[in-house]
């Protein structure tokens, strides 16, 4: 019941048309899309964007760097080489044996094409990208999911090489980057000294609205024969921060509860949520982290870096050394690095990265709950 695929996909046709229009306008050949986890960006790519590219007679390729986040540079190169090798244009023999001789005397030389995969990643990247695009004259759409994982890569020049090669291959090569970490994605595309600064146009993933909610209510009726109040389901949708995956799960929980009350489904879903990843995330947080996360989940207006908040943290934790704004900032920086928090774009403003954790914490908060 944890998969968004468990219930019928809701299409975003306008978004597909927008992407096609931008990538064929001549104004840009690369787009970035940030969206938090579980907001449906990967499902959109797989269910709509890639199939649409086929109708445009483009060659489309999808790479998910999250599954190779331990070594994203090597993962990207190997995926690109794999696409090329399917056409057998980049494949090298693992071993080549050459012989030459006269009579009983001979010389034998052996060459091995296998090499250390970490060596010459930039060279392999350029060769793979050029070979992939060079397989035909049609446009090529390369979709790289969770592209921000390259921000923590091991090789400083790798992203610069990627940028130079992608610009060399445009306009035939179109790129669509997605990311679930706003801070990491900004560090690659938005900051002035970023390796991909202004090389791609940002495109937001629009939040789904009332038409999505009504469609879920229709699905509920089709399956159960019972009518669900779409207005109440909409209130539930707002309660869960308008996360599509969560609403799908709640509708499924409502079916299991044998009622048509979406709030009953919400109650069951929230209990299941507490038994899963959100609770595990919560218990692993340091005491100061819990205070900060609880403060953000409760939507209190006091700044994290105010003297008032520092005094409250010091009192709650009862430590001898007071919590200054600098100590708070250190804790915040650590949680940003661990993808617990994310900057909102305004100086000093942060949000909880995982909305599941935010909903879980908000449900259990009574003032500042530490344990």
Q: Which of 27-31, 167-171, 174-178, 202-206 has the lowest mean pLDDT?
A: 202-206
Q: Which of 96-105, 275-284, 294-303 has the lowest mean pLDDT?
A: 96-105
Q: Has residue 371 been placed in a domain? A: no
Q: How far is CA 116 from CA 74, 95, 199, in A?
A: 11, 15, 31
Q: Is the pLDDT of residue 232 over 60?
A: yes
Mean pLDDT across 155-184: 86
Residues 216 and 200 in one domain: no
Determine the pLDDT at residue 193.
66
Q: Has residue 142 been placed in a domain? A: yes
Residues 49 and 172 in one domain: yes
Q: Has residue 346 been placed in a domain? A: yes
Q: Which of 250-259, 303-312, 337-346 has the lowest mean pLDDT?
A: 337-346
Mean pLDDT over all residues of the chain? 83
From 171, 149, 181, 151, select the one nearest 36 (Cα to Cα).
181
Residues 197 and 218 in one domain: no
Residues 257 and 128 in one domain: no
Determine if the peptide bond prior to 171 is cis (ω within 30°).
yes
- pLDDT range class, residue 280, cuts 50, 70, 90: confident
From 158, 130, 132, select the one nearest 73 (Cα to Cα).
158
Q: Has residue 102 been placed in a domain? A: yes
Lookup: tokens for 355 = 């909305």
Residues 314 and 357 in one domain: yes
Mean pLDDT across 23-44: 89
Residues 12 and 160 in one domain: yes
Determine the pLDDT at residue 119.
53
Residues 199 and 61 in one domain: yes
The domain boundary, picked from 185, 204, 223, lies at 204
Residues 24 and 86 in one domain: yes
Q: Has residue 13 been placed in a domain? A: yes
Q: Is the pLDDT of residue 35 over 50?
A: yes
Residues 189 and 55 in one domain: yes
Number of domains in the chain: 3
- pLDDT range class, residue 184, cuts 50, 70, 90: low
pTM: 0.73
Residues 143 and 196 in one domain: yes
From 210, 298, 294, select the one nearest 247 (Cα to Cα).
210
Residues 138 and 61 in one domain: yes
Mean pLDDT across 153-158: 71
Q: Has residue 278 been placed in a domain? A: no
pLDDT digits (tens, 9 = 90+) for 317-350: 988 888 999 999 999 999 988 878 887 766 788 8
Residues 199 and 216 in one domain: no
Q: Has residue 314 been placed in a domain? A: yes
The domain boundary, picked from 204, 237, 256, lies at 204
Both ends of the chain: CA-CA distance in Å? 29
CA–CA gap between residue 111 and residue 95 (Å, rounded)? 6
Determine the pLDDT at residue 182.
66
The domain boundary, picked from 179, 204, 229, lies at 204
Determine the pLDDT at residue 237.
94
Q: Has residue 370 been placed in a domain? A: no
- Residue 194, phi then psi, degrees to nearest 5: -65, 145
Look up the CATH number of the domain holding residue 119.
3.40.50.300
Determine the pLDDT at residue 183.
65
Domain range for 359 is 285-365
CA–CA gap between residue 104 and residue 235 (Å, rounded)? 88
């Amino acid at each position: 019941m944890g998969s968004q695929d468990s219930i019928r996909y809701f299409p975003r046709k306008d978004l597909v048309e927008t992407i096609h229009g931008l990538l064929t306008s001549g104004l840009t050949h690369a787009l970035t899309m940030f969206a938090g986890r579980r907001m449906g960006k990967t499902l959109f790519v797989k269910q709509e964007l890639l199939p649409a590219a086929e109708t445009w007679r483009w060659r489309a390729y999808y790479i998910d760097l999250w599954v190779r986040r331990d070594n994203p540079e090597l993962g990207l190169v190997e995926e690109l080489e794999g696409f090329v090798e399917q056409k057998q244009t980049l494949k090298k023999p693992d071993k080549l044996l050459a012989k030459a001789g006269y009579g009983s005397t001979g010389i034998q030389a052996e060459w091995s094409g296998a090499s250390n995969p970490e060596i010459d990643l930039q060279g392999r990247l350029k060769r793979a990208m050029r070979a992939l695009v060079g397989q035909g004259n049609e446009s090529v759409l390369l979709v790289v999911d969770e592209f921000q994982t390259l921000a923590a890569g091991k090789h400083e020049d790798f992203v610069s090489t990627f940028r130079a090669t992608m610009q060399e291959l445009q306009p035939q090569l179109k790129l669509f980057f997605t990311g679930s970490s706003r801070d990491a994605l900004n560090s690659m595309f938005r900051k002035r000294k970023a390796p991909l600064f202004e090389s791609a146009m940002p495109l937001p993933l629009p939040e789904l609205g009332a038409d999505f909610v009504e469609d879920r209510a229709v699905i509920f009726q089709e399956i159960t024969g019972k009518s669900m109040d779409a207005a109440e389901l909409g209130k539930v949708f707002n309660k869960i921060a308008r996360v599509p995956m969560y609403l799908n799960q709640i509708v499924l929980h409502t079916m299991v509860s044998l009622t048509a009350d979406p709030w009953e489904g919400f109650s069951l879903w929230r209990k299941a949520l507490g038994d899963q990843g959100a609770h595990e995330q919560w218990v692993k947080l340091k005491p100061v982290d819990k205070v900060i996360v609880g403060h953000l989940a409760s939507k209190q207006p006091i700044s994290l870096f105010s003297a008032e908040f520092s005094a409250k943290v010091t009192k709650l934790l009862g430590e001898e050394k007071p919590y200054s704004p600098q100590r708070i900032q250190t804790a915040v920086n650590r949680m940003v690095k661990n993808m617990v928090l994310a900057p909102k774009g305004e100086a000093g403003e942060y949000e909880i990265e995982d909305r599941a954790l935010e909903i879980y914490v908000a449900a259990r908060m009574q003032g500042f709950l530490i344990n």
